[in-house]
């Protein structure tokens, strides 16, 4: 498959003619220049992945200094273009000097087609990789925004903040627990932001949603031909997160028979792709999260005790919003500011009666439910102050209802049945799915849908 864009700069018309025939077989776009007169403009206006550059352009001059000069100019105006140099035998020492200045490699004239193509394709892959790294860093800068997350005002969250201050900069493995909607993923991102690995990626894996058949492939990778759909080699999430942070969300939902595979990788800090005999060491900082009581799961045989010890060097628990009511109004005001700007509404505050209503509500969905409630209120409100009628909240006794006789819709009945079954089986999704007569993936989708 042809891919990438290459520019050839050489004053030898015979070389240009030959490369015009050869390179389009491998590159999607091939441009050529027989002089350097428009070189800077070309690399500035067109994003070339690779530039194949001759080292001499002036008749009678063979010093190679022209190549060094134009190499510098290309890297100045197109830093992500990889430069491969054409050189005569006498210029090899000079070409080595050029590599020290940023050139990818050099090819000696007269060249062999196979050697040339191998070098150019390697340069192309490096160019693509560098651009991807740059894009990831730009995305991370956008995500980071103005800096630290909003912690709230409660003493309980202040304790969480103090603990994060102590452990974020280390490489300690962290287990974050808390109910759905408390912000476990936000806290994981904050820990990564403060860590020594913050310039690298944080790779998130929702392990609860992984089909059992793809668990090893997604986490550890595979080689071409390892199974029917393995069309090419693929790195797993452990490798992709190399140098950075791996965040395993919903860690409590991993079936017991797969937990041993994860334990082995964490013990050895090495993975073997499916279908391969080669072991790759992995350098990651591991953060896990779950809404389950892991010690209870261990006691009931649903989670390996030795794996639990591996993932919770530091245990951070985020208390539910109903246990830190001091945070409800500050979070509501923060979301009000965000959504007023998003929807171009001139809403300046929340009435005292509305604040009392928010404080007295149970918030089973925690901060996430509060966020959605404020967003809805901002969208529907026609005044400058949000009042009690703007917040469409269920009655607390309705929120607490769990008896099937109290439900009025099929969705409510399904939610109650799933919640009961989860409690009965200690959160083991495989057993729950089997008991309800649905697949594990369908069960997981319903859990997400109902916010259980």
CATH classification at residue 336: 1.10.8.60
User: What's the pLDDT score for residue 187?
Assistant: 95
391-401-333 Cα angle (round to 5): 25
Contact 174, 167 (CB under 8 A): yes
My answer on whether 372 and 416 are in the same domain is no
My answer on whether 169 and 298 are in the same domain is yes
422-427-429 Cα angle (round to 5): 90
Residue 222 CA to residue 279 CA, distance in Å, equals: 12
Q: Does residue 32 form part of some domain? A: yes
Which strand (E) or helix (H) includes residue 8? strand 5-9
Pick from 222, 233, 229, 310: nearest CA to 271: 222
Cβ neighbours of 208 (radius 10 Å): 21
User: What's the pLDDT score for residue 171?
Assistant: 94
Contact 6, 23 (CB under 8 A): yes
Q: Does residue 153 form part of some domain? A: no
Pick from 122, 89, 91, 130: nearest CA to 105: 122
My answer on whether 213 and 247 are in the same domain is yes
Q: Does residue 243 form part of some domain? A: yes
Q: 174: which strand partners?
A: 287, 314
My answer on whether 417 and 393 are in the same domain is no
My answer on whether 346 and 308 are in the same domain is no
Per-residue CA distances from 420 to 179, 255, 398, 416, 435 (Å): 16, 19, 17, 6, 11
Strand ranges across the sheet with 202-206: 202-206, 245-249, 285-290, 174-177, 314-317
Residue 172 CA to residue 191 CA, distance in Å, equals: 11
Q: Does residue 150 form part of some domain? A: no
My answer on whether 98 and 131 are in the same domain is yes
Contact 92, 64 (CB under 8 A): no
Contact 246, 287 (CB under 8 A): yes
Residue 221 CA to residue 234 CA, distance in Å, equals: 5
My answer on whether 119 and 84 are in the same domain is yes
Q: 6: which strand partners?
A: 30, 50
Looking up residue 298, the CATH number of its domain turns out to be 3.40.50.300
Q: Does residue 31 form part of some domain? A: yes
Q: Does residue 146 form part of some domain? A: no
User: What's the pLDDT score for residue 63?
Assistant: 66
My answer on whether 285 and 350 are in the same domain is no
My answer on whether 357 and 274 are in the same domain is no
HSE value, Cβ hemisphere, 13 Å, CA-based, for 10 = 23
Q: Does residue 293 form part of some domain? A: yes
Q: Which of 293, 317, 341 is the last residue of a domain?
A: 317
Residue 196 CA to residue 194 CA, distance in Å, equals: 7
Looking up residue 72, the CATH number of its domain turns out to be 3.40.50.2300
Residue 149 CA to residue 399 CA, distance in Å, equals: 29
- The tokens of 46 are what? 């067109």
Burial zone of 362 (CB within 10 Å; 0-12 exposed, 13-18 middle, 19+ buried): middle
Region of residue 437 (phi > 0: left; psi between -120 and 50: alpha; otherwise: beta)? left
For the chain, which residues score pLDDT lower than 70? Answer: 1, 59-64, 89-93, 95, 132-148, 395-409, 426
Q: 376: which strand partners?
A: none
pLDDT in tens, 299-324: 989 999 999 999 999 999 999 999 99
Q: 221: which strand partners?
A: 235
My answer on whether 230 and 308 are in the same domain is yes
Q: Which domain holds residue 47?
A: 5-138
Q: Which of 317, 343, 375 is the last residue of a domain?
A: 317
Residue 402 CA to residue 190 CA, distance in Å, equals: 35
My answer on whether 115 and 30 are in the same domain is yes
Contact 236, 203 (CB under 8 A): no
Instruction: Please give the tally of structural domains in the chain.
Output: 4
Query: What single string gives the DSSP state of each residue in 44-55?
Result: HHS--SEEEEES
Per-residue CA distances from 145 to 133, 335, 400 (Å): 19, 16, 37
Residue 375 CA to residue 339 CA, distance in Å, equals: 6
Q: Which of 80, 104, 138 is the last residue of a domain?
A: 138
My answer on whether 357 and 293 are in the same domain is no
pLDDT in tens, 80-122: 899 998 877 556 667 677 877 888 888 888 888 998 999 999 8
Q: Does residue 267 form part of some domain? A: yes
């Amino acid at each position: 498959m042809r891919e990438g864009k290459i520019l050839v700069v050489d004053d030898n018309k015979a070389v240009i003619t030959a490369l015009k025939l050869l390179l389009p077989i491998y590159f999607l776009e091939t441009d050529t220049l027989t002089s350097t007169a428009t070189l800077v403009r070309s690399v500035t206006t067109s994003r070339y992945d690779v530039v194949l550059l001759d080292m001499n352009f002036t008749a009678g001059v063979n010093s190679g200094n022209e190549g060094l000069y134009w190499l510098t100019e290309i890297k100045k105006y197109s830093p992500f273009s990889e430069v491969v140099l054409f050189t005569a035998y006498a210029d090899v020492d000079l070409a080595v000097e050029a590599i020290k200045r940023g050139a990818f490699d050099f090819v000696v004239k007269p060249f062999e087609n196979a050697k040339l193509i191998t070098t150019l394709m390697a340069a192309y892959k490096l160019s693509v990789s560098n651009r991807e790294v740059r894009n990831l860093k730009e995305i991370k800068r956008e995500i980071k925004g103005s800096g630290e997350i909003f912690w709230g005002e409660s003493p309980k969250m202040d304790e969480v903040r103090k603990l994060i201050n102590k452990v974020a900069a280390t490489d300690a493995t962290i287990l974050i627990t808390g109910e759905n909607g408390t912000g476990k993923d936000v806290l994981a991102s904050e820990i990564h932001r403060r860590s020594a690995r913050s310039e690298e990626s944080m790779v998130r894996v929702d392990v609860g949603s992984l089909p059992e058949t793809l668990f090893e492939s997604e986490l550890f990778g595979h080689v071409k031909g390892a199974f029917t759909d393995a069309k090419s080699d693929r790195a797993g999430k452990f490798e992709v997160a190399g140098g950075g942070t791996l965040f395993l969300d919903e860690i409590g939902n991993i079936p017991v028979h797969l937990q041993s595979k994860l334990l082995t990788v964490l013990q050895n800090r090495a993975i073997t792709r499916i279908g391969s005999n080669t072991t790759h060491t992995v350098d990651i900082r591991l953060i896990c999260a779950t809404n389950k009581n892991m010690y209870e799961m261990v006691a009931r045989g649903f989670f390996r005790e030795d794996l639990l010890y591996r993932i919770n060097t530091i245990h951070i628990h985020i208390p539910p919003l109903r246990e830190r009511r001091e945070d409800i109004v500050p979070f509501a005001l923060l979301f009000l500011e965000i959504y007023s700007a998003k929807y171009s509404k001139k809403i300046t505050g929340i009435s005292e009666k509305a604040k009392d209503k928010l404080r007295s509500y149970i918030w089973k969905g925690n901060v996430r439910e509060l966020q959605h409630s404020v967003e809805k209120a901002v969208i529907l409100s026609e005044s400058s102050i949000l009042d009690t009628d703007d917040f469409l909240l269920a009655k607390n006794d309705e929120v607490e209802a769990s008896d099937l006789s109290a439900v009025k819709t099929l969705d409510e009945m399904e939610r109650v049945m799933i919640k009961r079954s989860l409690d009965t089986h200690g959160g083991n999704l495989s057993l729950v799915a089997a008991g309800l007569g649905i697949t594990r993936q369908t069960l997981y989708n319903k859990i997400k849908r109902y916010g259980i």
